[in-house]
Structure 1
């Protein structure tokens, strides 16, 4: 079984947003001019052998780019393959908490994702803290981005130390999934992951052949590593992301934890 921990089934307004121009340039692709059918995302999962994809809503200071209800409609089109991850508006903390509750209790979502660089607010900002408490109460993980930003936004908010480290100290029961590996602070992210039992790393936005050596060492040498597979689809397809997996040197237990076990634990799939 393979679980993709970070995917988007994007709307046109999300995929054509100017902040993603740099990513499209790197990939040599162009954003779609029309809404993409859910079958396209499921087809990409099939091509890469991915069984379950966690697709996220996107909210920023200008409003929703992929709304929670849109994500729910995508999941409804492929309920055996897609799982919803909520996002919320940080500017309205109580409304955000109520919306998160609705997403989990009524829509069946399995996590919350807030992308700090989109808000230019680090994860230690006070506006996140009611959401952390609610995540603990709901039994869902908080998913975020660590490392530099590919989009044209500042990278400082993606530092694992001090931000993720401090949040994990303040909320030891909170499950935190740091997406995008943490490069160029990968060693920091690995250290935070080893220090805090409920902190995980996902490999979205990187292909296997681009994993930093310190991440590979952690995955191959620590028998209880907490790294999970992710793509950041549609920027990277699953088949491309997993090319070269056999070259990592993972034993059977480490490979299973990476491809599905850690995600199943963190998201209670």
Structure 2
């Protein structure tokens, strides 16, 4: 079984946003002109052998780029293959908490994702803390981005130390998933992951052959590593992301934890 921990089934307004221009340039693609049918995303999962994909809503200061209800409608078209990840508007903390509660209790979403660079606020900002408490109460993980920012926004908010480290100290019960491996601070991210039992890493936005050496060492040397597979689809397809997997030198237990075991535990799949 393979679970993709970070995907998007994006709307045109999200995929054509100017902040993503750098990603389209790097991948040599162009954003779609029309809404993408859900079977296109499922087809890409099939081509890469992915069984379940977690697709995320996106909320920023300008509002919903991919709304929670849109994500729910996508999941409803392929409920055995897709699972929803909520996002919220940080400007209205109580409404954000209520929306998270609705997404988990009524829509069946598996997690909350807030991308700090989109708000230009680190995850230690006071506006995040009511959401962390609610995640603990609901039993869902907080997913975020670590490392430099590929889109056209500042990168400082993606530092694992001090930000993720401090959140994990303040909320030891909170399960945290840092997406995008943390580069160029991957060693920091691995250190935070080793330090805190509820902190995980996902490999979204990176192909296997671009994983930093320190991440590969952690995965290969520790069969109880807390790294899970992700793509950041549609920027990278699962098939392309997994090419060269055998070259990592993972034993059977480490490979299973990476491809599905950690995600099954974290997202209760």
TM-score of Structure 1 vs Structure 2, range by shorter chain? over 0.9
Q: How far apart are 1:223 and its partner, in Å? A: 1.9
Task: Show CA shifts across 1:140-173 (max 9, x none).
Answer: 0000000000001000000000000000000000
Cα distance in 1 for partners of 2:265, 2:196 equals: 15
Task: Show CA shifts across 1:44-84 (max 9, x none).
Answer: 00000000000000000000000000000000000000000
* Long gaps (5+) in structure 2: none
Kindly indicate whether the alpha-carbon contact (under 8 Å) linking 2:113 and 2:143 is maintained by their aligned counterparts in 1: yes
Q: Secondary structure at the match of 1:201?
A: strand
Task: Show CA shifts across 1:125-148 (max 9, x none).
Answer: 000000000000000000000000
Structure 1 stretches of 4+ moved >6 Å: none
Cα distance in 1 for partners of 2:185, 2:26 equals: 21
Q: How far apart are 1:222 and its partner, in Å? A: 1.1
Kindly indicate whether the alpha-carbon contact (under 8 Å) linking 2:11 and 2:36 is maintained by their aligned counterparts in 1: yes
Q: Secondary structure at the match of 2:257?
A: helix
Q: State the superposition RMSD in angstroms.
A: 0.2
Task: Show CA shifts across 1:227-250 (max 9, x none).
Answer: 000000000000000000000000
Kindly indicate whether the alpha-carbon contact (under 8 Å) linking 2:223 and 2:251 is maintained by their aligned counterparts in 1: no
Cα distance in 1 for partners of 2:11, 2:194 equals: 36
Cα distance in 2 for partners of 1:142, 1:92 equals: 18
Task: Show CA shifts across 1:196-230 (max 9, x none).
Answer: 00000000000000000000000000121000000
Q: How far apart are 1:22 and its partner, in Å? A: 0.3
Aligned residues: 269
Cα distance in 2 for partners of 1:27, 1:212 equals: 19
Match of 2:248 in 1: 248
Task: Show CA shifts across 1:170-200 (max 9, x none).
Answer: 0000000000000000000000000000000
Cα distance in 2 for partners of 1:139, 1:147 equals: 26
* Long gaps (5+) in structure 1: none
Cα distance in 1 for partners of 2:238, 2:223 equals: 25
Kindly indicate whether the alpha-carbon contact (under 8 Å) linking 2:228 and 2:257 is maintained by their aligned counterparts in 1: yes
Cα distance in 2 for partners of 1:265, 1:189 equals: 20
| TM-score of the pair, normalised by structure 2 | 1.00
Task: Show CA shifts across 1:12-63 (max 9, x none).
Answer: 0000000000000000000000000000000000000000000000000000
